[in-house]
Amino acid sequence: MVALTRLDCMIESSALMRQALAQATHHAAHREAFGHKLGDQPLMQNVLADLAVESEAALRLTMRVARAVEEGESDPVAAGVARIATAVGKYWICKRAAAMVTEAQECLGGAGYVEESILPRLYREAPVLAIWEGCGNIQCLDVLRAAVREPESLEAFVAEVRTASGADPRLDSAIARMEAALGNAEEAERRARSTVECMALALQGALLVREGDPRVAEAYCARLEEGAGRMFGTLPPSIDAAALAERARPRLSA
Ligand SMILES: Cc1cc2nc3c(=O)[nH]c(=O)nc-3n(C[C@H](O)[C@H](O)[C@H](O)COP(=O)(O)OP(=O)(O)OC[C@H]3O[C@@H](n4cnc5c(N)ncnc54)[C@H](O)[C@@H]3O)c2cc1C
| pLDDT one-digit tens code per residue, 5-20 | 999 999 999 999 999 9
- The full DSSP string for 98-109 is HHHHHHHHHHTG
Q: Is 41 exposed, middle or buried (0-12, 13-18, 19+ CB in 10 A)?
A: middle
pLDDT of residue 201: 98
Q: What percent of the chain has pLDDT over 90?
A: 96
Q: Is 26 part of a structural domain of the chain?
A: yes
d(CA 87, CA 46): 30
Closest residue by CA, ligand 1 atom 31: 135
Residues in contact with ligand 1 (CB, 6 Å cut-off): 128, 131-138, 141
| Structural domain span for residue 109 | 2-248
Q: Is 253 part of a structural domain of the chain?
A: no
Q: Residue 10: helix, strand or coil by DSSP?
A: helix
Residue 92 Cα, ligand 1 centroid: separation in angstroms?
17
| pLDDT one-digit tens code per residue, 188-217 | 999 999 999 999 999 999 999 999 999 999
- The gap between the terminal CA atoms of the chain, to the nearest Å, is 42
- Asked whether 198 and 174 are in contact (CB, 8 A), the reply is yes
CATH of the domain at 167: 1.20.140.10
| pLDDT one-digit tens code per residue, 47-64 | 999 999 999 999 999 999
Mean pLDDT to the nearest integer, 214-226? 97
Q: How confident is the model at residue 251 (pLDDT cuts 50, 70, 90)?
A: confident
Q: Is 254 part of a structural domain of the chain?
A: no
Number of domains in the chain: 1
DSSP annotation of 34? T
**Mean pLDDT for all residues in the chain:** 97
Mean pLDDT to the nearest integer, 107-112? 97
Q: How confident is the model at residue 1 (pLDDT cuts 50, 70, 90)?
A: low
Residue 130 Cα, ligand 1 centroid: separation in angstroms?
10
CA Rg, the chain, in Å?
Answer: 18
Mean pLDDT to the nearest integer, 222-247? 96
Q: Is 173 part of a structural domain of the chain?
A: yes
Mean pLDDT to the nearest integer, 63-79? 97
Residue 120 Cα, ligand 1 centroid: separation in angstroms?
23
**Distances from the Cα of 81 to the Cαs of 4, 61, 66, 179, 183, in angstroms?**
14, 12, 10, 16, 18
Residue 57 Cα, ligand 1 centroid: separation in angstroms?
26
Q: Is 97 part of a structural domain of the chain?
A: yes
pLDDT of residue 3: 81
